[in-house]
Structure 1
Amino acid sequence: MTKKKYRIAIVGGSIAGCSAAIALGHDGHDARIFERSSQKLQVRGAGIVIPAPLFESLKAQRWLDKDTAHISLQGMSYRVSDSNNAENGRSIWHRPLDAVAMRWGHLFAQLRQRVSDNDYFNGIEVLNITQDKDQSQTLVLSDGSTYNADIVIAADGVHSRTRDLVNDPTSINYSGYVLWRGLLDQKSTLSSHTPTPRNHVLWHPYSGGMAGCYIIPASDHATSTENHTLNWGIYDKVDTDTLSKLLPDATSPEASSAHSLNDFAKEHLRNLLNTKIPSASANLFQQTTTPFVQAIVDLDSKKLVTNNIALIGDAAAVLRPHAASGAVKAIDNALSLAQELQSTSSSISDNLKNWQQQELPKLRQQVTLSKTLGEGLVTSAPVWTDMSEADMSQWWQSMLEGKNWYMK
């Protein structure tokens, strides 16, 4: 029996939306993306880390070019500030890693190239969605037109306007900490000034947060090792009063977006770098000309599907970035949804219900793990300077098992 091919409207054209369009288009569905922003999305974002097996799988499936710029990550090191080694800090743990570092913009550009321009509508906002008698969906678009689809996929991110059609209004909750981020372009001749080896992630945990960095490819997409970029970030526990001074409107969901620094934020970051992390990393991070900050938030949907509308990526739930990148979750959602729609024995409604039944438990586990890691790493972390190599291994395993012996 041949499976019917569907008209699918995808709301949001970032990584989740493009991934859905590629996966569904490969199966012969008519998938069209409506992206409300008229700007080029590939200029957004900084560095991301994805599992090496997923990276190889995406290349094998031709979602990515074979020569896609990336850097293999083979290890993760933790070094704490220490008076005996003020420059580099004291090592307390090292563990192996099998991952790939990329620029967010490079990943997006690769995916976007695989979606036809005829199926990608920039600067078109979906104003409303209504269900028709035949269970299809009619989208009212900002250019005055309408589009009728069998399925709507909401891939419009943390600030999704489609989410409330599936769930009751969902709140975005502040986690208790922010993420400071920056990118610093470097020449390989300056590698001696880079605090972390090319193929490792370096962390500097401190009381109230942790700073980290790793190398990503240069912005020109070059695959050579001559140039590279240092991608750094600092998770920093911040109370709500301080948060309101750091961000223009801390009570708004937009606080979770990246923001340039105001004068108060610049001074806060400067003090953080000067007092909390080893000088080699601090001095390097301070060379960044345009650092930015965002609030780390929690968002979780009770349902993923209703009326032939499905939520994927950050529109479904926001994971704190310790567990995995949002890009990984978005790609996984797109692949699993496309696979479920291949079933020839179910209606659209049944396909989507089956997909939700598979994905919701997985999402619950991911949300729980991301919160557990956030608590263990930032808000309720151990006394890092007291931790031995054995303590660190036990601490990490306990977090993965959901235990909380390390919390104070």
Structure 2
Amino acid sequence: METNESSVKEIREPQLATDTGAVPHILLPASRQPKAIVIGGSLGGLFAANALRAIGWDVEVYERSPSPLDSRGGGIVLQGAVLQAFRFSGVPATGHLGVRSNDRIYLDRDGTVSSRQYMPQTQTSWNKLYGVLRQNFPDEQYHRGAKLVAIEQDSHGVTAIFADGSTAHGDLLIGADGGNSTVRELMLPKISPRYAGYTVWRGLVDESRLSPSMVPHLYENFVFQQDRGALMLQYMVPGQDGSTEIGRRRYNWLWYLKSAAGDDLDAVLTDKTGKRRTHSVPPGELSPAQETWFRTMAATHANPEFRALIENTDDIFVQVIQDLEVPRMVFDRVVLMGDAAFIPRPHTAGSTAQAATNAITLADTLRGQRDMTASLADWQEGQVSEGLAITEWGQRMGNRIMNIA
């Protein structure tokens, strides 16, 4: 039987004061290996887990999903921070991590090139990065189906309590469980993501379904169509199996469209079973009415090459764009990182890079230190400042792109 989370929260209040400076400094054990509990087994959690293992910590990862995670996130622009995290953690990245694009192109609705600039960069995918990070982390220390319901902490350590009654104990607990973070909800119950006023419709198309002659501008380029209050873009990413070989890659497309909060957004997020989802409808789950609306709209408003992409997409999915900033990331022995703390708009291409930076700076700060309170305070100061900067920048950029006052 599943534990009622609200009742558990009432009796499982953290036992340490919320102001880190109000309690004696927490010292890591000198006689044994320090241990971290990582809540969240996606990219942010694996960045943290691998980085802490690299400095000699014992790490256990707990993921709430009972099933293996999939590539619902689609494409990711590969940033230097991700490569730095791989080097820091000693994660071997054999072969190419992504697909190189050459030009940055803007197309008008009729397919005419309005702007073209040579601007090479590399795009990867969620499943490519996840596969490499997950392969580097021991199976026996990665636990699925672990739904966190409460946290207890005192001068001796921190304990995670899960819905099935099991527990995990360590010296530090890391909340890397995404935008709908349970750890954040427990530490900062009044702070949650805010709807930004628009959604992103997404899809992936196997390269083999479209010859380069059908989509000459899209092939190995980063391409946009900008309309008033809407933006579509695409770039190529590794295939479902992580392959970057020509012919086995995928086209990844995104279309940002406004949806008013209320009835419009409810309709977008209601899936084919009639369930109103909270923040996304996964591939293959769109309601027939919404899929028909979107495909009809695309046939009218997308340029010919983008239309070809959408027509060849079997499973379209949609996500809401959200904003989130926290005033702090450290709560004695509990730490927030990645999207659990700050959600930058996707126009910044900064979400994955931010999680990587949080992880390696945390590990670097804790390396060889016993005074965890002082170390975490130093880490928090820099990471909160950077998190606020990228989220505010993303909000300005997104509102300008989408013509939101």
Normalising by the smaller structure, the TM-score range is: 0.7 to 0.9
Could you tell me the percent identity over the aligned residues? 27
TM-score by length of 1: 0.84
State the match for 1:364 in structure 2.
Answer: 388
Equivalent in 253, 271, 280 of residue 232 of structure 1: 253
Counterpart for residue 128 of structure 2? 106
CA distance in 2, matches of 1:335, 1:72: 25
Cα gap change, 1:295 to 1:56, in 2 (>3 Å): closer
Report if aligned partners of 2:295, 2:310 keep a CA contact under 8 Å in 1. no
- 2:148 alignment partner in structure 1: 126
2:197 aligned with 1:173? no
TM-fit CA distance, 1:358: 0.9
Return the match for 1:351 from 351, 375, 389: 375
Which residue in the other structure is 1:401 paired with?
A: none
2:317 corresponds in structure 1 to 292
Whole-Å separation in 1 of the counterparts to 2:250 and 2:193: 32
Equivalent of 1:326, from 332, 339, 351? 351
Report if the CA contact (8 A) 2:37-2:59 is conserved.
Answer: yes
Q: 1:354/1:252 Cα in 2 relative to 1: closer, same or farther (>3 Å)? A: farther
Confirm or deny that 1:317 pairs with 2:342: yes
Provide, for residues 67-86 of structure 1, a one-character-per-residue CA deviation record: whole Å limited to 9, x for no partner.
144211333221222xxxx2
One-letter code aligned to 1:124? A
The answer as to whether partners of 1:72 and 1:101 remain within 8 angstroms in 2 is yes
Report SS of the residue matched to 2:296: helix
* Deviation (angstroms), 1:49: 1.0
With over 3 angstroms needed to count, the CA separation of the structure-2 counterparts of 1:272 and 1:35, relative to structure 1, is same
Structure 2 matches for 1:3-402, cutoff 5 A? Answer: 4=30, 5-51=33-79, 53-54=80-81, 56-57=83-84, 60-61=87-88, 62-81=90-109, 86=110, 88-91=111-114, 93-132=115-154, 134=155, 136-187=157-208, 190-240=211-261, 241-248=263-270, 254-256=278-280, 258=282, 260-342=285-367, 344=369, 347-380=371-404
Q: Which runs of 5 or more structure 1 residues have no equivalent in the other structure?
A: 381-406
Maintained 8 Å contact 2:204/2:313: yes
Contact (CA 8 Å) 2:150, 2:161: kept in 1 or not?
yes
Task: Supply the distance in 1 between the matched residues of 2:61 and 2:175 (Cα, whole angstroms).
Answer: 10
Following the alignment from structure 1 to structure 2, what is the Cα–Cα distance between the partners of residues 313 and 98?
27
Q: 1:26 to 1:102 in 2, by over 3 A?
A: same
Match of 2:49, as an amino acid? Answer: A
1:296-320 CA distance string (max 9 Å, x none): 1112212111121110111111111
Task: Tell me the secondary structure at the aligned position of residue 348 of structure 2.
Answer: coil
Q: C-alpha distance in 1, partners of 2:219/2:291?
A: 28
How far residue 343 of structure 1 moved from its aligned partner, in angstroms, is 5.2
- Structure 1 residue 258, shift from structure 2 partner: 3.8
Separation in 2, partners of 1:95, 1:300: 34
**Aligned residues of 2:172 and 2:334 also touching (Cα < 8 A):** yes
Counterpart amino acid of 1:365? A
Determine the C-alpha separation between the residues in 2 that align with 1:304 and 1:169: 14
The letter for the 2-side match of 1:141 is: F
- 8 Å CA contact 2:339, 2:355 repeated in 1: yes
- What are the superposed Cα offsets for residues 176-205 of structure 1, whole Å, 9 maximum, x if unpaired? 111000111122871111253443210001
Contact map agreement 2:85 2:356 (CA 8 A) in 1: no
Which amino acid in structure 1 is aligned with residue 125 of structure 2?
R
Question: What is the distance in 2 between the residues matched to 1:238 and 1:54?
Answer: 33
- Matched letter for residue 53 of structure 2: G
Shift of 1:251: 12
How large is the Cα RMSD of the aligned pairs? 2.5
In structure 1, C-alpha distance between the alignment counterparts of 2:393 and 2:133, rounded to whole Å: 28
Unaligned runs of 5+ in 2: 1-27
Alpha-carbon displacement from aligned partner over 1:311-358 (angstroms, at most 9, x marks no partner): 0111111111000142211111101111111253x6111111111111
Distance 1:104 1:318, change over 3 A: same
Q: Give the drift of 1:97.
A: 3.5
Output the CA distance in 2 between the equivalents of 1:3 and 1:339: 18
* Residue type at the aligned position of 1:378: M
Q: 2-side partners of 1:90 and 1:74: how far apart?
A: 15
Residue 173 and residue 129 in structure 1: after superposition, are their counterparts in 2 closer, same or farther (change >3 A)? same
Size of the aligned set, in residue pairs, is 371
Give the Cα separation in 2 of the matches to 1:189 and 1:199.
13
TM-score normalised by L of structure 2: 0.85
* CA-CA distance at 1:43 after TM superposition: 3.9
Contact conserved, 2:195 with 2:321, CA < 8 A, in 1?
yes
CA distance in 1, matches of 2:138, 2:290: 41
> What is the letter of the counterpart of residue 210 of structure 1?
L
Alpha carbons 2:38, 2:175 under 8 Å: kept: yes
- For residue 162 of structure 1, report the CA deviation from its aligned partner: 0.7
**Partner Cα distance (2:83, 2:356) in 1:** 14
> Secondary structure of the residue that 1:227 maps to in structure 2?
coil
Distance in 1 (CA, whole Å) between partners of 2:192 and 2:135 is 34
Partner secondary structure for residue 244 of structure 1: helix
Which 4+ residue blocks in structure 1 deviate beyond 6 angstroms?
Answer: 249-253
Confirm or deny: 8 A CA contact 1:42 1:106 kept in the other structure: no
Distance in structure 2 (CA, Å) of the matches to 1:33 and 1:192: 46
**CA shift at 1:9, angstroms?**
0.5
What amino acid maps onto 1:374 in structure 2? G
